[in-house]
Amino acid sequence: MDHINEKRTQNELKRQVDEQQAEQDFVALAETPEGRRFLKRLLAECNVYQSTFTGDALSSAHREGKRSVGLWALEQFNTCPDLYIQFLTEKTHD
């Protein structure tokens, strides 16, 4: 039984380390002007701020899948709200 609990503890610690690394990776990206420009292009490509409805079920499903990825990327800003404000207010040459 101890072996099972030890394995669970190890798995939980690994998950926490992986989660922290993912947060640090995103912050490193969002801290740079190049990273923020990339994220703006990604969100635009994913149609995050647009409806996914096209009138065609398959096309709408495809657009909703892209939007889901974009919403996930946008959600990553939850770990660094100050960078999200900068992201929103920064002028770009789009």
| pLDDT mean over 17-43 | 97
Per-residue confidence (pLDDT) for residue 61, from 0 to 100: 95
- And the tokens for 31? 């801290």
pLDDT of residue 93: 57
Q: Band of the pLDDT at 70, cuts 50, 70, 90?
A: very high
What local confidence, expressed as pLDDT, does residue 59 receive?
95
pTM over 0.95: no
| The predicted structure's pLDDT at residue 86 | 95
Instruction: Please determine, for residue 57, whether its predicted confidence score (pLDDT) is greater than 70.
Output: yes
Res 94 pLDDT > 60: no
Answer whether 31's CB lies under 8 Å from 83's CB. yes
Burial (Cβ within 10 Å: 0-12, 13-18, ≥19) of residue 26: buried
Quote the pLDDT of residue 92: 65
Cα dist. 12→15, 49, 67 in Å?
5, 35, 30
What is the pLDDT at residue 3? 85
